[in-house]
Amino acid sequence: MQAKEQTEEQMKAQRKGPRTGLTKKQKRAQKKAQRKAYAREHVMANVNNVRISPRKVKLVIDLIRGKQVGEAIAILRHTPKSASPVVEKLLNSAIANAEHNFQIDVNKLVVEKVYVNQGPTLKRFRPRAMGRASRINKRTSHISIVVSKKKEG
């Protein structure tokens, strides 16, 4: 009986996890400080509801991931895809954010993360034979770019 009680107490302690001794307010403040520190190192830019399919945008963003911003802009300017101008404009926005908000040197910036998520789909119909109609999905994208300082070493 006693062994069973101990194991239940141990199980409760494991579920709760280690006690840090911080109140909820202190934990919130700590997380907020961590987010601000992350934001100073990693500058972000987003564009929502772009009328290009996420699948097509992915082809373009895979080309620039991990590259220096100057090289990424050159790649985007010479890529014959419909998503290239949109991604280039977004990258320029992220660079401007880094320069204006955090005074980061543009030559030291690298495209750290770039990803695309699916936005709302516009449903349209195409008339077909014998009075039927088939549905056309016009997909939209949410694109995000994170640039950061180049790691030394």
Q: Which domains does the chain carry?
A: 46-153 (3.90.470.10)
Taking a C-beta distance cutoff of 8 angstroms, is the pair 50, 141 a contact?
yes
pLDDT at 120: 97
- In this prediction, residue 14 carries a pLDDT of 63
Q: What is the mean pLDDT of residues 132-140?
A: 97
State the average pLDDT over residues 32-49.
87
